[in-house]
Structure 1
Amino acid sequence: MSLLSLKNMKTSIGQYHVLHDISIEVPEGGVFVLLGRNGAGKSTTLRSIMGLWSPSPGSVTFRSEDLTGLHTAEIAKRGIAFVPEDMGIFGGLTVAENMVLATADGSFDKDRLRWIYDLFPALEKFWDKPAGALSGGQKQMLSVARAIIEPRELILIDEPTKGLAPAIVDNMAEAFRQISDRSTILLVEQNFEFAKSLGRDMAVIEDGRIAHAGTMADFAADQDLQDRLLSLSA
């Protein structure tokens, strides 16, 4: 049974029809990757799932519950977290204060916080420093850490490697592997090598529609399909 199901989802932003008929099934566990060219509708799909844009018609179902029409805060309470492309951190607050804002009651589970420190050691080092003083990679670590400071069943992550140095990308990949042992990840990513190393299942969005869906292993083995849908050489 799918953890998340999108059925015939359409999303318009003003007069622009961005998503035309999106249907995907995200199984529980592991990493599901959404691929596609710039402007294809990947980020809009994540934002529609979170209720930041309102899909209509169509449906978003999470563990058999229809989320369509719910406010973002209500969707988050179901156990879904969102890491936006712009990271969304508060630069004037410390790392610790950013993390507190992501909790339900302002307190941390010590074992879970230690796990996050092991994933992202820089956060422990700069715990009392302003988040705005962090490097780009460290800010991305903080954005991901906020999403997992409390147990979540599903984490939506938008373009986490954008602008990051290769060493940071490698560290992020290892962190995502460990996170996906505890939570399902729905990942939007342009870096195909990063996506290929993590994804179990995948779909390609093209012009607001699903152009292909299947396993990452099959897609990674089909160079012609990659070139046609992504215009890349993997």
Structure 2
Amino acid sequence: MSLLSLRSMKTDIGQYAVLHDVSIEVPEGGVFVLLGRNGAGKTTTLRSIMGLWQPSPGSVHFRGQDITGMHTADIARLGIAFVPEDMGIFGSLTVEENLVLATASGSFDQDRLQRIYTLFPALEKFWTKQAWSLSGGQKQMLSVARSIIEPRDLILIDEPTKGLAPSIVDAMAEAFQDISATTTILLVEQNFQFAKRLGRDMAVIDDGRIAHAGTMADFVADKALQDRLLSLSA
């Protein structure tokens, strides 16, 4: 059984049909990458999974349970976290306060906190700093840290490398590799070099429909397919 299944999912935003017929099977473990050109429907797919937008018709199943139509908070309680493209952090709060708000109890498991410090040392250094004062890369680290401060089965991450320096991108790739050893990641990413470094399985969405799905290794080996679906030549 797949960890996450999207079945014939259609999502309208206002009068616009964004997703037309999206079906994806995300296996448990590792990184599943959703690729596609700008405006193809990648972010809408993640937001539909989280209940921020409601697919109709179609369905979303998590560990075999139909979660279509559930409130976002209830979906999160099942063990799904969402790291949005805008990072979703609170600029006026400190790093510590941002992480406290991401917990259910208002307190930290110290082992998990130490793991975050290991993955993102800057967060320990700037623990008492307000989030607005962090660099773009540090804000992204905080956003990801919020998603793993408590145990999760699945993390949805939207465009985490956008606007980041190459050194930060490398650090983020290493962190994601570590996280994916225990938590499945569904990653939306435009940086193909980053995506192919991490992805085990993948799909390409085009004009609101799944145009291709398979292993990342097979997709990387097929330059013609990359160019046709993503206008890539490398």
TM-score, reference length from structure 2: 1.00
Q: Secondary structure at the match of 1:138?
A: helix
Q: Deviations over 1:109-145 (max 9, x none)?
A: 0011000000000000000000000000000000000
Shift of 1:66: 0.3
Q: How many angstroms apart in 1 are the aligned matches of 2:63 and 2:109?
A: 26
Q: Secondary structure at the match of 1:82?
A: strand
1:210 and 2:200 matched: no
2:107 counterpart residue number:
107
1:197 and 2:197 matched: yes
CA RMSD of aligned residues (A): 0.4
Q: How many angstroms apart in 2 are the aligned matches of 1:102 and 1:62?
A: 21
Aligned AA (2:26): V
Shift of 1:106: 0.5
Q: How many angstroms apart in 1 are the aligned matches of 2:121 and 2:200?
A: 27
Shift of 1:232: 1.4
Q: Secondary structure at the match of 1:164?
A: coil
Q: How many angstroms apart in 2 are the aligned matches of 1:104 and 1:182?
A: 20
Q: How many angstroms apart in 2 are the aligned matches of 1:108 and 1:228?
A: 47
Q: How many angstroms apart in 2 are the aligned matches of 1:157 and 1:124?
A: 22
Shift of 1:104: 0.2
Shift of 1:93: 0.4
1:25 counterpart residue number:
25
1:56 counterpart residue number:
56
Runs (4+) off by over 3 Å: none
Q: Deviations over 1:55-113 (max 9, x none)?
A: 01111000010000100000000000000000011100000000000000100000110
Q: How does 1:1-234 map to 2 (within 5 A)?
A: 1-234=1-234
Shift of 1:222: 0.3
TM-score, reference length from structure 1: 1.00
In the alignment, structure 2 segments of 5+ residues that lack a partner are none
Q: How many angstroms apart in 2 are the aligned matches of 1:118 and 1:39?
A: 35
Aligned AA (1:178): D
Aligned AA (1:133): S
In the alignment, structure 1 segments of 5+ residues that lack a partner are none
Q: Secondary structure at the match of 1:2?
A: coil
Shift of 1:233: 1.8
Q: How many angstroms apart in 2 are the aligned matches of 1:194 and 1:129?
A: 29
Q: How many angstroms apart in 2 are the aligned matches of 1:218 and 1:13?
A: 34
The alignment-based identity, stated in percent, is: 82
